[in-house]
Amino acid sequence: MRILLIKTVDEVFKSAAQPLREATDLRENMQNAIVPFKELCGLSAVANLKQCILALSPRLIGPDSSPLLLFNLRDQYPTMEAQGLLPEVLKKVVTAYEIMIQTSRTLLESSDGVYERMLQVQKSAMEFHEKLHDMAVKEGLKGRKLHKSVESFTWNITILKGQADLLKHARAEVLENLRQIHYAALTCNLAKGEAGPSSGSESRGRRSLEAIPEKAIREDNIMDEEN
């Protein structure tokens, strides 16, 4: 946040430091955790998680055609469950997957509060918008300093809105990633307790897959209303 040299307004923007830091950490931790998992799947960082699971699936089947790992889809955050002893490379896959899910879960559970705090700072700052010029003059600012102060105000508001939007998009990305994991596990017959989309359990699989999008729509609507 830039300093305006208008004490009252600067105090408001100062309160944005912590939520901005938290938002950045949430996004970067999530994104940094996804890359190692994609690499262990043998794909680049631009691949999506559905492609990763599909590429990984042949390695999750043992010599006797039984699965070495299954996805438990009962919870919103699907877990990987070993079905026996795992080779070292698959242990690394499980560890990377668990870290990815944990950071994604942290983002989903924390993003609402962080987003709201950034939005509140933005709203509080905008209350000074119309009288900013007069406040700057009262602080003894004129000429280039006054112009710079107004520019800094606009800059700070832009940063707040931009970071809030980035957090919102990261949240949507996590929800989409969870959808893709569900879908890929069902497609590859790697869902625990499911026989795959081609069997009579298709309707149950579809219901478990649709549970997340419904929640995602409700949560995203809340953020859209706030925005």
- Decide which of 172 and 226 is more confident: 172
Cα separation, 122 vs 12, in Å, equals 9
Look up residue 141 and give its amino acid: L
Q: What is the mean pLDDT of residues 164-178?
A: 97
In a domain, 178, yes or no: yes
Beta strands of 60-204 (E only): which ranges? Answer: 69-72, 79-82
Instruction: Give the pLDDT of residue 224.
Output: 53
Q: What is the mean pLDDT of residues 171-185?
A: 97
Q: Is the pLDDT of residue 111 over 50?
A: yes
Cα separation, 159 vs 50, in Å, equals 33
Long-range contacts of 59-64 (CB under 8 A, 24+ apart): 59/89, 59/90, 60/90, 60/188, 60/190
Q: Tell me if 190 sits within 8 A of 70, measured CB to CB.
A: yes
Residue 137: φ, ψ to 5°: -60, -40
Domain count along the chain: 1
Q: Tell me if 49 sits within 8 A of 177, measured CB to CB.
A: yes
Q: Which residue has the tokens 């026996």?
A: 84
Instruction: Give the pLDDT of residue 222.
Output: 45
Q: What digits encode the pLDDT tens for the residues 21-66?
A: 999 999 999 999 999 999 999 999 899 999 999 999 999 999 999 9
In a domain, 2, yes or no: no
pTM of the entire predicted model:
0.81
Identify the domain containing residue 76 by its residue range. Answer: 7-226
In a domain, 1, yes or no: no
CATH number of 31's domain: 1.20.1050
Mean pLDDT across the chain, nearest whole number? Answer: 87
In a domain, 68, yes or no: yes
Instruction: Give the pLDDT of residue 219.
Output: 47
- 10 Å CB burial of residue 163 (0-12, 13-18, 19+) is buried
Instruction: Give the pLDDT of residue 223.
Output: 53
In a domain, 50, yes or no: yes
Q: What is the mean pLDDT of residues 111-135?
A: 95
Instruction: Give the pLDDT of residue 193.
Output: 76
In a domain, 26, yes or no: yes
Q: Which of 69-73, 101-105, 129-133, 190-194 has the lowest mean pLDDT?
A: 190-194
Both structure tokens of 95: 């560890």
In a domain, 177, yes or no: yes
Q: Is the pLDDT of residue 182 over 60?
A: yes
- Decide which of 146 and 203 is more confident: 146
Q: What digits encode the pLDDT tens for the residues 194-226?
A: 644 433 333 333 333 334 444 443 445 445 555
Both structure tokens of 1: 């946040």
Q: What digits encode the pLDDT tens for the residues 92-108?
A: 999 999 999 999 999 99
Q: What is the mean pLDDT of residues 179-196?
A: 86
